[in-house]
Structure 1
Amino acid sequence: MYIHWSHHYLPKLFGILSFVCNPIFICLIATEKKASIGKYRYLLIGFAIFDMAYSTVELIVPVAIHGTGAAFVIYLADGPFFGTGKLGQLAVSIRCGCISLSYGILVIHFIYRYLVLFNTRIIDRLLRPSGLFGLFVFFVFHGIAWSSVCEMCLYGDQEVFDYIYDAFQKDYHVDSHDLSMLMALFFDASPEIKRRSWIGILLLTGISIYAISLYVILGWKIMKKLADNPGVSATTQKLHRQLFKALAVQTFIPICISFSPCMMAWYGPVIGLDLGMWNNYLGVIALSAFPVLDPLAIIFLLPNYRNKLFRTVKMPIKYFYSGTSTVRPNVDNSAQVY
């Protein structure tokens, strides 16, 4: 189902870039001295692996978003599950659950940074097999909760298919009854449809607000601890600040490209804002950029990774020019900056 070149190609491009940027990020972590960030490196590697898994789901389950009248619709636009009915709807629910998984893994990172400063003994327990299993269950629960809400409250049925039929014929020239979708119809519907639509959207909003609120609360406590902790060396404080700055940017990214587009798509119909196909540009493309921007933010905000990447890039360039130049000036190599 072709909507627009940007919707068709940009998510795929971001998916490919995710499998370029995240392995580079993992290599930078693996070759860094263990003493620099300690066991936190394992969480960063887990973050990179999740980003690639996120991109894989996006490539397999490409979705589109439409807002029309009093309804919000997210539907399967292409891929191996296209035209498979209920199975395709389940795939869309799982795809949406990845948004909540991104919230969950960020919560784990904030909790880790908080405990490093406030209770290091718990960190040792968390990094044992039982602790890691508990973190994994906590992480997966976010995705299960989100996907379950979608399946139980936002599934499409005959009434909602009929409601959006004319709009989809006009904009996409397709029969809405043939699509796998999730939908919230807030007005102009039966009481049952309106009830479960409101319940579903409010539950998803609650999950989102819980995660964002936790980021803010823990972030504020971390900053306050760093400012009022004279017993910690300047070098250690500097490292903590660098890591927290990277985590803060990692949080800012999903707020801008996950939380905000979702809020706009969900509540636009409630306030009479008819975004139509613009949801695809504001939401779908933005959501697909998350796994690429995430590792890039950490690489460029942490000096060790940034400098190592620049040195790696400069080495073949330097070799190329030194090997092809016929005149080699007498330069003191020790004065070069990488």
Structure 2
Amino acid sequence: AIGILSNILLIYLVSRFSKKNMGTYKYLLIIFASYDLYLTVIHAIIEPPISSRYRKRSSFSLYRILSQWLTMLYVASFTVPFALTNVNFLHRYWAVKKPTNLSLFTSPRFVLLLSMYPIGQGVGWAVLSCQVPIDDSHFVEDYYFSKFNTTITGWRVLHHWKGDHLNLPQFLILISAMIVMSFNFSIAIFLASQTIAEIRKAKTFSFNFKSLQIKILRALFAQTSVPVLFVYIPFGCAILFPFFKIDDKLQLANSCMTFTSFFPAWDAIVVIILIKDYRDCLLSLFCYPTNSS
């Protein structure tokens, strides 16, 4: 409910109170908020539980599947936002490096081409999720029955170690996931660092323009930290702890879906808090007058 309300509020504030100097960036914010609404609904409908276990001679990560297609949809959906964030970083970089390129964001052909990046990310993660095998050997079923006296079925198992032997096919899946995540982070770091460098060395930018770019960039950094904190870190712990034979004593893997549920709501909240125009307009709606600057 909080995710739905916060993102509807953000869409309203962006549509109603964005100033002209926000340019096409406001449309990116609306796309983000609309997608977060979709994520909120998808999470509420599917919410597959994730767990990890480590034993001296075996360790594994696992997640429950309602169906193969729902699992693919869920994994693909929650891995797209970081790709969208990189599109946002590209917009910021062009805004200070080559503003004429921003007109491309109004070109249907360019938008279609650019959309291939997040779509490709989603498809790639969906394919990876289906490479994780079903528990045909009944290893997890036997483990839970012997430890908890509970019978469970329908799990996909990323079985890192079998005895003292590395499970090579599962290791390749893990490496593929790490490569995709590292690729996304590398793009974000490059575009962010180049944008900061351009702002610092620019001689012709007005004070107001620099202030606006720094304000938007600060909000974008905070917005980027949200999926990192609430999606990538818990998910990373769920699949990496068993591989490195680390006992998940804090039960981060079991809390993975709880953390993920926070993501869509906080994604909108950080934008409203950090962009002064939207923050002031929200306060004014509740009869708290603010001084604009």
Is the TM value for this pair above 0.5?
yes
Aligned to 1:17: 2
8 Å Cα contact 1:67/1:277 also seen in 2: no
Number of residue pairs aligned between Structure 1 and Structure 2: 287
Bigger relative contact order, structure 1 or 2 (CA pairs below 8 A, ≥6 apart): 2
Quote the offset at 1:196 in angstroms: 2.2
8 Å Cα contact 2:24/2:105 also seen in 1: no
SS in 1 for 2:202: coil
Aligned to 2:175: 202
Mapping of 1:224-243 within 5 angstroms?
224-243=197-216
Quote the offset at 1:63 in angstroms: 1.2
1:258 paired to 2:231: yes
Quote the offset at 1:112 in angstroms: 1.1
Aligned to 1:67: 52
Amino acid at match of 1:167: Y
Equivalent residue in structure 1 for 2:98, among 119, 136, 141: 119
4+ long deviations beyond 4 Å: 170-174
- TM-score normalised by structure 1 residue count: 0.79
Quote the offset at 1:172 in angstroms: 6.6
C-alpha distance in 2 between matches for 1:200 and 1:313: 50
SS in 1 for 2:50: strand
Amino acid at match of 1:56: V
1:94 paired to 2:94: no
8 Å Cα contact 1:103/1:208 also seen in 2: no
1:147 paired to 2:126: yes
C-alpha distance in 2 between matches for 1:292 and 1:167: 36
Quote the offset at 1:35 in angstroms: 0.6
Amino acid at match of 2:69: L
8 Å Cα contact 2:215/2:275 also seen in 1: yes
Mapping of 1:1-338 within 5 angstroms?
16-69=1-54, 70-76=59-65, 82=66, 88-151=67-130, 153-159=131-137, 162-169=138-145, 174-176=150-152, 178-179=153-154, 181-188=155-162, 194-275=167-248, 278-314=251-287, 337=290
Using the aligned pairs only, state the percent identity.
16
Which residues of structure 1 form unaligned runs of 5+? 1-15, 77-81, 83-87, 316-335
* TM-aligned CA distance change 1:33 to 1:62, over 3 Å: closer
- TM-score normalised by structure 2 residue count: 0.91
C-alpha distance in 1 between matches for 2:187 and 2:101: 19
* TM-aligned CA distance change 1:64 to 1:57, over 3 Å: same
Quote the offset at 1:281 in angstroms: 4.9
Quote the offset at 1:117 in angstroms: 1.4
8 Å Cα contact 1:97/1:142 also seen in 2: yes
C-alpha distance in 1 between matches for 2:242 and 2:106: 45
Amino acid at match of 1:183: V
* Bigger radius of gyration among the two: 1
8 Å Cα contact 1:64/1:280 also seen in 2: no
C-alpha distance in 1 between matches for 2:128 and 2:193: 31
Which residues of structure 2 form unaligned runs of 5+? none
C-alpha distance in 1 between matches for 2:258 and 2:2: 14
CA RMSD of aligned residues (A): 2.2
